[in-house]
Chain A
Amino acid sequence: MTRVKLPPWLVLLLPAFIIIAAVVLVPLLLSLYSSFTPYHLTRPDTLWKVNFPFNYQKALTDANFWAAFGRTVLLLTVALNLEMLLGLGLALMVSKVTQGQRLLRTAMMFPMMFSPILVGFQFKFIFNDNVGLVNNALQSLGLADRAIPWLVDGNLALFAIICAEVWTSTSVFAILILAGLYAIPQDPLEAAKVDGCSPWQSFRFVTLPFLMPFIYIAMAIRSLDVARAYDIVQVMTNGGPARRTELLWTLIGRTGYVDARMGYANAMGYVAILLSIAFTVYFFLKLQRARRDLGMGD
């Protein structure tokens, strides 16, 4: 019997190949394949009926899918911009603090330490129409004369979800922007003062361009995060009322695991991933440009 002699480079790389194939490649190919089938979890034989564009066609003509898609983009846009503005403000204020700044920076990161599921429950309680803090506060202060159905009205529910998202993740922006503020050289800021800039003009023309790369890094990270938003929404509204807060991934989760239509869910998942990739590519291009503007190379 002759032993097959593999070249050493292949032998050395083989463990990595096998692990990547097992963990990433096979599931990826399998899910891609199943997205071309009417695969139903309770009827395994459906996995073998290939029906090429069917699921994608169905998704692209499904009003529910597009509603969830649009809502996800809306959530991304509103939440990211709000978090950026609040994080920027927070970072600017914290950077001016001279005593106890370390403590503040630590405290700032607390929201990131909670599980999103718990945050979801907490905000569900805060926005509860009977016993919630918001309604109690509004009524005690005389700002509202009856309970506002925060989690029942579709628009208000989305607003409540955005509040929860912003509360958990503003600190991501704040921390990254604060790092950016520390990295700004002082000389150009002093030059701007001498050149006649007011504090606002110094911020607008010198500080902000220096911060842009940091803002885009935070945007890229957070866009991936928000695009896959599932847990907070699932806990707070479960996509309801009447699908009014359904996002891409809550819809996909429901289709795959509740309705057991895994083939269709996978097809929608691939479209959702395209959305994430689009946002990430967009922010990376912006990041590259901001860095080039600062002469930092690519």
Chain B
Amino acid sequence: MAQVHLRNVVKRYGALDVVHSISLDIADGEFVVLVGPSGCGKSTTLRMVAGLEEISDGQVVIGDRVVNDLPPRDRNISMVFQNYALYPHMTVRENLGFSLKIARRPQAQIDAAVDEAAAILALTPLLDRKPGALSGGQRQRVAMGRAIVRHPDVFLFDEPLSNLDAKLRTQMRVEIKKLHQKVGSTVIYVTHDQVEAMTLADRIVIMRDGHIVQVGTPLEVFEDPANSFVATFIGSPPMNLLPGTVQGGRVVLADGTAVPVPPGLHVADGRRVHLGIRADNIMPEGHSLPPTAHMAHVDMPVTLTEPLGTETLLFATLAGAEVQAKMLNPRPVTPGERLRFGIALDKCHLFDADSGVSLRM
């Protein structure tokens, strides 16, 4: 059990900075997810915490120790790798017990810890098999088991689910969450999948180009994205961004369509902005958008539909840009049909067109 602090941590390869002075405080027992597109520095950051990458500058603190110069084995962490990284020549039992064997624990204690971990992860019938004879999901469970037998201070997960198929991924996601509830250790989890981030995290850390863009609970980053990058990265489908200019309290889009500025925002005339609308907040009239005091209406032709059962995703065109909208209680829509859409303005966002920064902040 331990807190983790990153203090102005930098990773530099030659003249190239891949992680730019990031700072982050992680509480004891917290489940923190680092998420971002590939190349954003999230894995590098995790590997610096693990001790697999040298820390170019700044400090990493685990518990109350600065661990910059400690090798991985002295940090009391354990890590689950993307490719499982099991030892192929050892049985599942040997894989699970390896770290304890290295630590010269008595055999009885090793057996007890292995049996406990195997029971938690339903690996008991597989203990005498080798990794080669296991399925992807089973290997992933062994990798997690290997991490939990040591009762480490911090669990590090490096994209652990990205090699699994979609169904198994959902299943393992639940298992990881259960495991965290059971074990209660601090977890740092790296993924590029925003759904994993939303479902697992106590707090999400969104990274881009080696910087932390926003830190917050899943709902915070979903409802109050700090900028247009977070807005389009978190949430599925991504938030619609419509370029326009503010004039007289209205956002005027490229084709002259005008939508009132969302309530509570005060923006000077002439400022170029992006109007951000999630698909959940733009729906055809009569299809269950809860009525609010701040509604706007637009007419759009529908170009494509994706029926999902309880709802249909509509692709429409507004002022030359593609807009994704949801239709609850769906009825069949033929492509080309013009529909009148309602927009819940109080749930909309404005971002500066140049910097992308949210004007709500």
Query: What residues of chain A have their CB less than 8 Å away from a CB belonging to chain B?
Result: 185, 187-188, 190-198, 201, 205-206, 209-210, 293-296
Contacts and interface: CB of A to CB of B under 8 A. Distances in A.
Contacts of B79: 190-191, 194
B102 A196 contact: yes
Given A193-B52, A194-B73, A295 B102 contact: no
Contacts of A190: 52, 79, 81, 85
B82 to A, nearest CB: 8
Interface string B75-107: 001110101111111000000001100110000
Given A194-B50, A195-B73, A196-B103, A187 B81 contact: yes
B226 to A, nearest CB: 33
Contacts of A201: 102
A205 B81 contact: no
Contacts of B133: 295
Nearest to B94: A205
Interface of B: 50-52, 71-73, 77-79, 81, 83-89, 98-99, 102-103, 130-133, 146, 150
Given A193-B52, A296-B132, 8 more contacts: A188-B87, A191-B79, A191-B86, A194-B52, A209-B89, A294-B88, A294-B132, A295-B132
A194 B89 contact: no
A193 B98 CA distance: 11
B145 to A, nearest CB: 12
B132 A195 contact: no
Contact of A295 (B72, B78, B85, B88): B88
Contacts of A193: 51-52, 71-73
A45 B321 CA distance: 102
B102 A293 contact: no
Contacts of A295: 88-89, 130-133
A187 B99 CA distance: 15
Contacts of A294: 88-89, 132
Contact of B88 (A188, A194, A195, A196): A188
A101 B66 CA distance: 36
Contacts of B72: 193-194, 196
B125 to A, nearest CB: 19
Contacts of A191: 79, 81, 85-87, 146
Given A194-B72, A195-B99, A196-B73, A206 B130 contact: no
6 contacts: A191-B86, A193-B72, A194-B50, A196-B99, A201-B102, A205-B98
B85 A187 contact: yes
Nearest to A186: B85
A210 B88 CA distance: 9
B155 to A, nearest CB: 11
A210 B84 CA distance: 17
Contact of B102 (A187, A188, A195, A210): A195
